[in-house]
Structure 1
Amino acid sequence: MWQVAWAAALILALAAGAGVAQDRADLSPAEARQLASTLLDAGDAAGALRVADALIQRDRGDFAAHMLRAQALQDQGRRGSARRAARTAYRLPASAEERFGAAYFLAHALARDGFLTHGQLWLRRAAQTAPDEASRKAVARDYDTFRSRNPMLFSMSASVTPSNNVNSGSNASSFRNPGIPWLPPEIEIDDSQKALSGYEAQLAAHLTWRLKPSATRMTALHLRADRTDVFLSSEAKALAPAARGSDYDRAGISLGITQKYRAEGARSVFSYGLWAGHDWSGGGNLSDTLRLTGQVERPISDRTAFTVSGQAERQMRLDSSARNATLTGVSLGLQHRLHNSDRVNLTLGWRDTSTESPGLRNSAMTARLDWTKAKPVAGLGFEAGLGFEWRDYPDSPYDPVDGRQDRRLSLDVAVEFQKVQYMGFSPRLEISAERNKSDVGLFDQRNMGVQLGFRSAF
């Protein structure tokens, strides 16, 4: 009981303005902080609050006193005041470890009051000042918990990609005359249609709102938006003076509703969705789209799962109604986790594009193999992908006899610098190379790009 008696004496002395904490060694700031902590442990939040207030009156920059005040207010149920006290502590000049404590306190205080999205933001601030690996793991674990409880999910990505072909132009200088009598056997490709170098600045955002789930269904509403701005290099401007980077800008927005369903006791998960979108190209309206998707995922074993996906899409072109198209496709996927926990995905697909425009009408077969390294190597995470697509344009006006066939090979390798983080985000570098070999030289393309962006570490 001596702690309580000491607390009472201290509080009375401070309230009377006697300055005991300054004049007596047993009432030093450090001992007063210890006393406030002892009172909190004993359940005397009111006494701890008076001690903390007295300490703050003596020194408004006392970080520990502000945090003690926040905890005392929290214990009294004064949650809004507790959060304000913790924010005041966070803004004070303090060590990284102290700022971590304030941010972590705030994150959980906000989550307890239902402000999960705001709590996730403060967890990211806590991650920025986490003093050790154990603290970072605690932040990641709590972030997953907050995210699972939060009906709203928000993600954003930004990247810059230098490329030798920002306009998807041709690497050939000419192509064979398809039979136009007044043109030469080889038709020269215009400079603006050739591959132009430069870089792309990309920004994308995805907002998801999950409705209250049932035992077997989960429904979500989605809003997606993306924009790509293209900037030409000085070499590209010299090659094609009439071309502008804005000619190749792209943007899109889409709204969707998705649902997942799994019957009680079943292993298969069914997913389906309906999407409506609008696209822009070169600063003008390009198309409206309506898309229906469906997927069935079924685990084969503890480490392997099989998926079947399908989609149907209607594109209403706003530049020319003759370019309206209906796309249908199906894909088969196999996901496998190796013994070292690396993940390997194999996807095979088929797609058909039906349209009145013979230059756009085509069918395609695709194959892709992806690998993701489970454990980082020297703080680096690795991903790689290899893709192949064969596309047939049977009625291409560029080759009315045999049609046009494209064979596209792509390779991309990504490295994530996981030891470098800012608010839980790590820089990610992706190197991609793509080669499209076409029977028509106008569509013969090579593209190499280096993309620098950021990815959430949790």
Structure 2
Amino acid sequence: MAAFLSLGVALLVLSPGQAFAQASENSQTLSIPQARAIARQAIQTGNIALADQISSALLQRDPDDAEALLIRALSARSAGALDVAEDAAAAAYRASNNPALQFDAAIMVADLKARKEQFTRAELWLRRADNVAPDERRKEIAARAFRNVSRLNPLSIQLRFTARPSNNVNNGAETLEIELGGLPFSIDPSGQQLGGYEASAGLSLAYRLSENETQKTEALAELYFRKIWLDSRAKELVPTASGSDFDYGVVIAGVRHQRLIWPELGTSEFTGLLGNSWYGGEELARWGELQLRQTVRTSNVQQLRFGATIRSEKNLDSAINSSESFA
């Protein structure tokens, strides 16, 4: 049985399409699809009040009417009520199982986030739009919008995750017996290869501090952690060992500055980094690094890169292994 919606005399006066009317002197009775069609037409013709009135009536009937929520979002955005528009578009995305409608809703939320300079959140919604895009044309729309927002976003985030089994989670030796200078030596059992499982997660951040036609400066941060679990065979070989003995973590912070010192050559880049690492729950090393890079354009499509790195490292588990290097 078809659902119908009764609207009062104000709708009859404001309606842009009398062809939809099933008239009485004081009211109209419209099917739900007809009401939605009138609301869409009202949006297109700029009759925001009518679109909002119809969406309100539809949502009184069904608060999870995704199309009505999207119509409310469109009318609210046109009226400048951006927070209302964002909430309605997000609700439409969640309420719908129609990929095309979800795409439109996600694109709208991304647009509203970008208007409020919430660029990272806008990028997340554009990824959602890409995931539900029902065709290549919409995928290209989402990709183009993502590129535009990324250029505006001062924050760049990269995430990495891995998980895998390994027959050598501790980077150990293949045998307990080694030969040095013709003499046999035995190594500690915990130094042999141990099997198990490893999972790692990495986070890279870059935040643009300043930028113009000739220079860009960014703050950098890097986090990495690898977690180890020993298998039953490894626990038999070394009963005193635990997976946490081989956990590894790194924290890096720094600044990168790029500048066109010699515009005819290419970009000059200077990067300073400070790092700290841990192994088995104990601090392993601290280091500082200075990187110098120069790009030289050889044609419109080719370029050469030259660089040098100065590094000073202090190994906290053994001062003997501390070093300074230039490459």
TM-score grouping bracket, smaller chain normalisation: 0.7 to 0.9
Aligned counterpart, 1:290: 288
Q: More strand per residue: 1 or 2?
A: 1
- Aligned counterparts of 1:294 and 1:263: Cα–Cα separation in 2: 13
Displacement of 1:174: 2.2
Look up the equivalent residue of 1:322 and give its one-letter code.
Answer: I
Q: Distance in 2 between matches of 1:113 and 1:95?
A: 27
Q: Does structure 1 residue 98 correspond to structure 2 residue 96? A: no
Amino acid at match of 1:256: G
- Measured in 2, the distance between the counterparts of 1:265 and 1:249 equals 46
Runs of 4+ that moved beyond 4 A: 23-26
Indicate yes or no: 2:148 matched with 1:128: no
Once residues 33 and 76 of structure 1 are traced to their aligned partners in structure 2, the CA distance between those partners, rounded to angstroms, is 19
Amino acid at match of 2:324: T
Residue of structure 2 equivalent to 1:226 = 224
What is the 5 A alignment of 1:47-446? Answer: 47-178=50-181, 185-263=183-261, 265-329=263-327
Q: Distance in 2 between matches of 1:298 and 1:87?
A: 47
Deviation digits for residues 334-362 of structure 1 (CA, Å, limit 9, x no counterpart) = xxxxxxxxxxxxxxxxxxxxxxxxxxxxx
CA distance in 2, matches of 1:36, 1:136: 27
Q: Kindly tell me: are residues 24 and 94 of structure 1, through their superposed partners in 2, closer, same or farther at Cα, counting changes over 3 Å?
A: farther
Which residue is 1:337 aligned to? none
Distance 2:57 2:14 in 1: 8
The 3-state SS of whatever aligns with 1:254 is strand
Deviation at 1:303, TM superposition (A): 4.2
Deviations 1:108-146 (A, max 9, x none): 121122111111111112222111222222222211211
Q: Which amino acid in structure 2 is aligned with residue 236 of structure 1? A: A
Deviation at 1:152, TM superposition (A): 0.8
| Separation in structure 1 between the aligned mates of residue 131 and residue 148 of structure 2, nearest angstrom | 19
SS of equivalent to 1:211: strand
Separation in 1, partners of 2:126, 2:308: 38
Letter in 1 for 2:173: S
Count of aligned pairs between the two proteins:
312
Distance (Å, rounded) in 2 between the aligned partners of 1:118 and 1:258: 25
Amino acid across the alignment from 2:185: I
| Residues 107 and 20 of structure 1: CA distance in aligned 2, closer, same or farther (over 3 Å) | farther
Cα deviation, residue 169, structure 1: 1.3
**Cα distance between partner residues in 2 of 1:36 and 1:327:** 70
User: In 2, Cα distance between the equivalents of 1:188 and 1:20?
Assistant: 98
- Tell me which protein shows more helix as a share of its residues: 2
* Structure 1 residues 118 and 177: CA distance shift in structure 2, 3 A: closer
| DSSP-derived class of the 2:210 partner | coil
Larger RCO (CA under 8 A, 6+ residues apart): 1
CA distance in 2 between counterparts of 1:243 and 1:303 reads 54
How does the TM-score come out when normalised to structure 1? 0.63
Residue 113 of structure 2 aligns to a residue whose secondary structure is helix
Please, which of 40, 43, 46 is the counterpart of residue 49 of structure 2?
46
Separation (CA, whole Å) in 2 of partners of 1:51 and 1:60: 13
Deviation, 1:258, is 0.3
Which residue does 1:406 correspond to in 2?
Answer: none
| Higher alpha-carbon deviation: 111-120 or 33-42 | 33-42
Equivalent residues of 2:113, 2:121 under 8 A apart: yes
Aligned partner letter, 1:313: R
Which whole-Å CA distance do the structure 2 matches of 1:312 and 1:263 have between them? 21
Q: Which amino acid aligns with 1:150?
A: N
Q: What is the CA-CA distance between 1:26 and the residue it aligns to? A: 6.3
Q: TM-score, normalization: structure 2?
A: 0.87
Which ranges of structure 1 fall in alignment gaps of 5 or more residues? 1-5, 13-18, 180-184, 330-458
Residues 261 and 268, structure 2, Cα contact 8 Å, conserved in 1? no
Question: What is the Cα deviation at residue 24 of structure 1?
Answer: 8.4
| Closer, same or farther: CA 11–60 of 1 in aligned 2, 3 Å | farther
For 1:178 and 1:246, the matched residues in 2 are separated by 34
Change beyond 3 A, Cα 1:112–1:175: same
Q: CA RMSD in A?
A: 2.5
Identity %: 29
* Mapped contact 2:12–2:28 kept (Cα < 8 A): no
The answer (yes or no) to whether the contact 1:249–1:283 under 8 Å persists in 2 is yes
Residues in 1 aligned to 2:23 and 2:272: alpha-carbon distance in whole angstroms: 70
* Conservation of the 8 A alpha-carbon contact between 1:104 and 1:123: yes
Matched-pair contact (CA < 8 Å) for 1:11–1:50: no
Could you tell me whether the CA contact under 8 Å between 1:117 and 1:150 is conserved in 2?
yes
Residue type at the aligned position of 1:142: A
> Which amino acid is the alignment partner of residue 43 of structure 1?
G
